[in-house]
Amino acid sequence: MKSKVYSLLLFLSCLLWLGGAPAGASDTPFPLKTYWVYVLSESADEISLVRLDREGARVERRFKTGNMPSDLSGPHGIVVSPDKRYYYVSLGHGRPYGTALKYSSENDRILGQTTLGLFPATASLTPNGELLFVVNFNLHGDMVPSSVSVVATEDMLEIARIPTCVMPHGSRVNPQGTFHYSACMMDDLLVELDTRALKVSRHFLLTKGLEKGMAGSPSGENPMVHGAAACSPTWAQPSVDGTSIFVACNRSSEIVEIDANTWTLKRRIPARPGVYNLSVTNKGRMVATNKRDQSISIYDLTTGKELSRIPTSKKIVHGVTVSPDDLYAFVSVEGIGSESGLVEVVDLTRLEIIAEVSVGPQAAGIDFMKMTPP
Amino acid sequence: MNLRALFFVQLFVFSALAWGQTPSPSPSDVEKVEVTPSLLEVEVGQDVQFTAVAKDKSGRALPDKPSKWFSSPFEIAGSDENGRFHFVRAGTVRVGAIIGGKPGTARVLVRQEAVARIDVDLTSQNLYVGDTYLPMAIPRTWEGNPLHEVGIQWISSVPQVAYVDSVGVVHAIAPGTSQLKAVSKGVSSQEITLNVQPALASTFGIEPSVAEIRTGDVIHFKIAGEQTKLQVRWTISGNTATMTADGAFVAEKPGTYIVAALAGGHIASTAVHVKARGIRRQLELVGRAFVPDVQFAEQWIFGKYAYLSTISDRLFVYDISNPSLPKLTETLKVDARIINDVSITPDGSIGVITREGASDRKNGIIFLDTTDLAHPKILSQYTATVTGGVHSAYIYGKHVFITDDATGSMRVIDFQDVKAPKEVARWQVQSPLNESQIGRTRYLHDLQVVNGIAYLAYWRDGLVILDVGNGIKGGSPENPKFVSQFRLNYGELYGGDWVAGSHAVFRYKNYVFIGDEVLSTMSDIFSKERVPARGAVHVIDVSDLEHPKKVAEYQVPEAGSHNVWVEDDLLYMGYYGGGARILDVSGELLGDLYKQGREVASYWTGSAEGFRPNLPFTWGAQPYGGLIYFNDINSGLWIMKLGHSKD
């Protein structure tokens, strides 16, 4: 009898494991739990807190950010601290340098700020929340090597600005907190930083046919001609265990997987046009935004196969964050000109969009805030 | 493994992963990093050895060593691998170390005297026994910013010849020579040689003799006859007037003033009667153009058409052949969130608009085919080196001079081949503190080119003058050459709660008019709340281009200056919350032009249907064809004409 009970429990848990938890009542696509994500609107200097619950999705709070009263500050990257007490926003524009802001998630008040480099963009934190890494994207024309800024978050001090390569983007720290990864769009490079020594430890040439892992800083040895990047990487995403790094090749529309231990190429996965940002689930899936394809793709990381392509209602698909329970992906869509931005909510079980929320124009950086029960 | 064990194993793994807990890193024992000395004051140039100790939760010291030493901001101090820091600039800096992924810091105040130099404009001064003389000096920071609030002590080398009293007035008491210098915070000025001669035996008179002038008129008084080289101390008595050290007089209020000259132990005086300027005129509304729920930005009036850009993605074109009834002929939509500037070549064939906030983040400028002015079409764009956004543009021949938001630099774009425009030059102010120093900026906001000279409103760096083809310094559009710079201390002018800088620039006759833009740090251009603004127009005399000097200012109380246009001795401008303004800038300009009654007209451009109802937010003005076009962010285009006198 006991073995039958355990068999039943095992069967039920497998259902949960493979199919995900039920989204909610059978007559609604919306969850019983409540989820919150922060999203930035780069052309409206706005931060929106989007809420998903059993009633659907909506903007719970929407407020201004920025530090230039008459000009666009261009908030681009956002990351929530592991303890959920703070979140950090990068402002791309400045006079001329951009800024990182530290917010209290309790009341959305600014607690500190620091000046960074030219157009600071994607941001990420070490698991202890002590160090913030922001890539200085510097998309302002000159094809010159830029840097990754490191900020001590307690007092918002920029403690290092580490030179890397041209137009770094896609800042992500591995789960162990030991290495930071970013990709340089115009150099076809993946760059690894040692988060303790605050220096470049390795880099990897991503160009198809020329793949090569190298030690140290990329300066001066890259065979790529600036601006002629074939891959044009826009995102570097460590796997959940940190053993692989997935890189989105925006130009060649591929996802490249690098073995983080051997620093060698594992595989190139064909992707949709303009694959841009990536996020991984705990269950071996990857969600990718396809900037030029007006769609979202979901991949099985074991096989590398696309499980679903989900079209979005507006153009310029940007960022993605996945809920910690792997049930939902929240995707930002920029829109064009005076169009509003969007947050699309994807049910990762049904593989379909279940809600769409209008936010300020050019919705860009997005990160998961919290869910109930915690 | 039996089923029970398998279940619990799976349950454990599932629980760990279900809430997104990725495999956690090895827990660090480091709870705190202590850096000592923890609080320190040092001087520029000093070296200090710091130590860092990691401690666990119980406060026990751990053996771990720093993986990295750092300073923030970087430019104040640097260190070796062992925590020995060298301090190179004044300011507050945090120095620290990372141990086990945890940073710890110490705070260091690096002291340096704020005064880097003291400027005096004389090398010698002739005095007579009995004369008093008020010497002038300006302490400056190392950047050249004036420090008006720093105390100065004057020291005379031979006080028996000339002594300086406690408030800095020099008294000539005996024939002879003395060296005078200004001292502040240990910094000394260049010496001024005081040559004191015996008292004059004869008296003197003042010229010219003036019967009557108006408020705002400038009279230059001087000693008559043979005594013209006397050092004169000028005084005035009367209502409200300004008298400069070299005898220039201007009154703000009507009335009779007594002007006195003290020199060589004698005194002479003359009287001048000042009457009201009496130039106030009506501004009469001719017509309006307005689109609901839109914030307007720049305008350009050409021929029978008005081009209006927006704080949005649209450019509106109006037929103004009947100015009382402007008719919308075209709405051009581009990929941008702000079209801040628009202008058209003098032959009317090509237009230029600037972009900020484009969705593809390639902003730059767009060239328009305006041969059919009613229906402009996009010809080409230039984005390659100015993707970060362009705020302002000025067309000069076949070049357009633009401001690059991203780098705070001026870019010169050659559009000889308008289908293939190219960058031919760039220029920017150089300052070591611009490299990421918190609170420092490099921001070029506006520019104008007149007779081969570019005038740049360079925000906190003030007015910058470049030779771009005039020849004074051998410059050209392809090779701009620095001529001079005039700095203002915006911290002193407006305080810390305002974002302030040189915003707009316009050259007219011997003057450059610089409009400050001063906005509250809390304001939001996209909200419908009132946007608080302040700011003055500074009048800079550039008759000597290499030595610009401020002579006057125009400030409407509690309103914020914005864009300026000057033509036929009248200055037209949008004064944000102060509405539409017209100022008489005829003759010589000196002192406070607003208080002198030089305002000719003003108009409240608030509108009930405006983006912010009943609040003027006037952007700028352009006189054209006998009418004046004022553009308001909230309420669109106001077409006006100057009417009859109000005085």
For the stretch B293-310, pLDDT in tens is 899 999 999 999 999 999
pLDDT at B360: 74
Q: Residue B226 corresponds to which tokens in the numbers above?
A: 């043979």
Percent of chain A with pLDDT over 90: 73
A143 at B interface, C-beta within 8 A: no
pLDDT at A219: 67
A169 compared with B210, residue with greater pLDDT: A169
| Structural domain containing residue A203 | 30-372
For the stretch A140-177, pLDDT in tens is 767 888 999 999 999 898 999 999 999 999 999 999 99
Option in A21, A72, A119 nearest B338 (CB): A72
Q: Is residue A13 part of a domain?
A: no
CB contact under 8 A, B18 and A140: no
Residue B641, H or E segment: strand B636-645
Question: Residue B11: pLDDT above 80?
Answer: no
Q: Residue B496 — very low, low, confident or very high, per pLDDT cuts 50/70/90?
A: low
Range scoring the smallest mean pLDDT among A298-307, B138-147, B296-305, B611-620 = B138-147
d(CA B186, CA A277): 58
User: What is the CATH classification number for the domain harbouring A254?
Assistant: 2.130.10.10
For the stretch B61-80, pLDDT in tens is 999 999 999 988 777 788 88
Which chain A residues touch B24 with a CB distance below 8 Å? 127, 175
- Which pTM value belongs to this model? 0.69
Percent of chain B with pLDDT over 90: 65
d(CA B609, CA A335): 29
Question: Residue B199: pLDDT above 70?
Answer: yes
Question: Residue A349: pLDDT above 70?
Answer: yes
A139 at B interface, C-beta within 8 A: yes
A 217-276: CB under 8 A from B: 240-242
Total CB pairs under 8 A between chain A and B: 217
Q: Is residue A5 part of a domain?
A: no
Contact (Cβ atoms closer than 8 angstroms) between residue A90 and residue A123: yes
Which chain B residues touch A336 with a CB distance below 8 Å? 335, 359
B528 compared with B163, residue with greater pLDDT: B163
Neighbour count for residue A23 (Cβ, 10 Å)? 20
CA distance to partner chain A, nearest, from residue B407 (Å): 5
d(CA A267, CA A59): 39
Closest chain A residue by Cα to residue B526: A44
Question: Residue B49: pLDDT above 60?
Answer: yes
Best A4, A11, A83, A157 member to test B by mutation, with max B CBs in 10 Å, is A157
Which chain B residues touch A197 with a CB distance below 8 Å? 67-68
Which chain A residues touch B17 with a CB distance below 8 Å? 240, 282-283
Q: What is the DSSP string of B317-354?
A: EEE-SSTTS-EEEEEEE-S-SB---EEE-TTSSEEEEE
Question: Is domain B206-275 in CATH 2.60.40.1080, yes or no?
Answer: yes
Contact (Cβ atoms closer than 8 angstroms) between residue A296 and residue A274: no
A 62-81: CB under 8 A from B: 64, 66-72, 74
Q: Which residues of B607-641 are buried (b: 16+ CB within 10 A; e: fewer)?
A: beebbbeebbbbbbbbbbeebbbbbbbbbbbbbbe
What's the whole-number mean pLDDT along residues B94-112? Answer: 89
What's the whole-number mean pLDDT along residues B117-129? Answer: 88
Q: Residue B12 — very low, low, confident or very high, per pLDDT cuts 50/70/90?
A: very low
Percent of chain B with pLDDT over 70: 91
Best A63, A71, A323, A339 member to test B by mutation, with max B CBs in 10 Å, is A71
Question: Residue B88: pLDDT above 80?
Answer: no
For the stretch A26-66, pLDDT in tens is 567 899 899 999 999 998 899 999 999 999 999 999 998 88
Contact (Cβ atoms closer than 8 angstroms) between residue B127 and residue B231: yes
The DSSP secondary-structure symbol of B199 reads P
Q: Looking at the 3D structure of chain A, how many domains does it have?
A: 1
CB contact under 8 A, A97 and B7: no
Q: Residue B150 — very low, low, confident or very high, per pLDDT cuts 50/70/90?
A: confident
Neighbour count for residue B126 (Cβ, 10 Å)? 16
For the stretch B542-552, pLDDT in tens is 999 999 999 99
Option in B10, B102, B520 nearest A69 (CB): B520
Which chain B residues touch A178 with a CB distance below 8 Å? 25
A144 at B interface, C-beta within 8 A: no
Question: Residue B587: pLDDT above 80?
Answer: yes
d(CA B314, CA B625): 26
Contact (Cβ atoms closer than 8 angstroms) between residue A190 and residue A258: yes
Question: Residue B116: pLDDT above 90?
Answer: no
What's the whole-number mean pLDDT along residues A350-369? Answer: 95
Q: Residue A370 — very low, low, confident or very high, per pLDDT cuts 50/70/90?
A: very high
pLDDT at B108: 92
Q: Which CATH superfamily is domain B32-111 in?
A: Immunoglobulins (2.60.40.10)
A 181-200: CB under 8 A from B: 195-198
Which chain B residues touch A80 with a CB distance below 8 Å? none
pLDDT at B25: 33
pLDDT at B105: 94
A324 at B interface, C-beta within 8 A: yes
Range scoring the smallest mean pLDDT among A143-147, A276-280, B197-201 = B197-201
pLDDT at B524: 65
Best A159, A198, A240, A282 member to test B by mutation, with max B CBs in 10 Å, is A159
For the stretch B249-277, pLDDT in tens is 999 999 999 999 988 778 899 999 999 99
Contact (Cβ atoms closer than 8 angstroms) between residue A334 and residue A363: yes
Q: Residue B44 — very low, low, confident or very high, per pLDDT cuts 50/70/90?
A: confident
Q: Is residue A258 part of a domain?
A: yes
Question: Residue B235: pLDDT above 60?
Answer: yes
Option in A43, A126, A139 nearest B357 (CB): A43
CA distance to partner chain A, nearest, from residue B522 (Å): 7
Question: Residue A344: pLDDT above 80?
Answer: yes
**What is the sign of the dihedral through the CA atoms of A349, A351, A357 and A363?**
positive
CB contact under 8 A, B11 and A42: no
A306 compared with A115, residue with greater pLDDT: A306
CA distance to partner chain B, nearest, from residue A345 (Å): 18
Option in A66, A72, A115 nearest B337 (CB): A72
Contacts of B383 (CB under 8 A, 6+ apart): A141, B362, B363, B364, B365
A112 compared with B538, residue with greater pLDDT: B538
Range scoring the smallest mean pLDDT among A98-112, A135-149, B436-450 = B436-450
pLDDT at B523: 62
Contact (Cβ atoms closer than 8 angstroms) between residue A105 and residue A83: no
Question: Residue B45: pLDDT above 70?
Answer: yes
Q: Residue B431 — very low, low, confident or very high, per pLDDT cuts 50/70/90?
A: low
Which chain A residues touch B106 with a CB distance below 8 Å? none
pLDDT at B227: 66
What's the whole-number mean pLDDT along residues A296-311? Answer: 96
pLDDT at A21: 42
What's the whole-number mean pLDDT along residues B595-617? Answer: 94
pLDDT at A98: 86
User: For residue B141, what are the CA distances in angstroms to B121, B138, B353?
Assistant: 17, 10, 38
Instruction: Give A46's strand partners.
Output: A41, A64
CB contact under 8 A, B361 and A337: no
CB contact under 8 A, B406 and A140: yes
Option in A45, A154, A325 nearest B526 (CB): A45
Task: Classify B150 as helix, strand or coil.
Answer: coil
Q: Residue B147 — very low, low, confident or very high, per pLDDT cuts 50/70/90?
A: confident
Question: Residue B6: pLDDT above 70?
Answer: no
Q: Residue B22 — very low, low, confident or very high, per pLDDT cuts 50/70/90?
A: very low
Contact (Cβ atoms closer than 8 angstroms) between residue B438 and residue A114: yes
Question: Residue B163: pLDDT above 90?
Answer: yes
Which chain B residues touch A316 with a CB distance below 8 Å? 359-360
Question: Residue B114: pLDDT above 90?
Answer: no
Option in A6, A196, A323 nearest B98 (CB): A196
Task: Decide whether B32-111 matches B206-275 in CATH topology.
Answer: yes
- Among B594, B487, B497, B499, which Cα is nearest to B537's? B594
Which chain B residues touch A121 with a CB distance below 8 Å? none
Average pLDDT of every residue of chain A: 88
Q: Residue A338 — very low, low, confident or very high, per pLDDT cuts 50/70/90?
A: confident
d(CA B326, CA B319): 6
Question: Residue A374: pLDDT above 90?
Answer: no
A 272-311: CB under 8 A from B: 282-283
CB contact under 8 A, A155 and B105: yes
Q: Residue A203 — very low, low, confident or very high, per pLDDT cuts 50/70/90?
A: very high
Average pLDDT of every residue of chain B: 88
d(CA B405, CA B451): 25
Which chain A residues touch B520 with a CB distance below 8 Å? 69
Question: Residue A362: pLDDT above 80?
Answer: yes
Question: Is domain B117-197 in CATH 3.40.50.720, yes or no?
Answer: no
Residue type for position B126: N
CB contact under 8 A, B3 and A64: no
Closest chain B residue by Cα to residue A327: B18
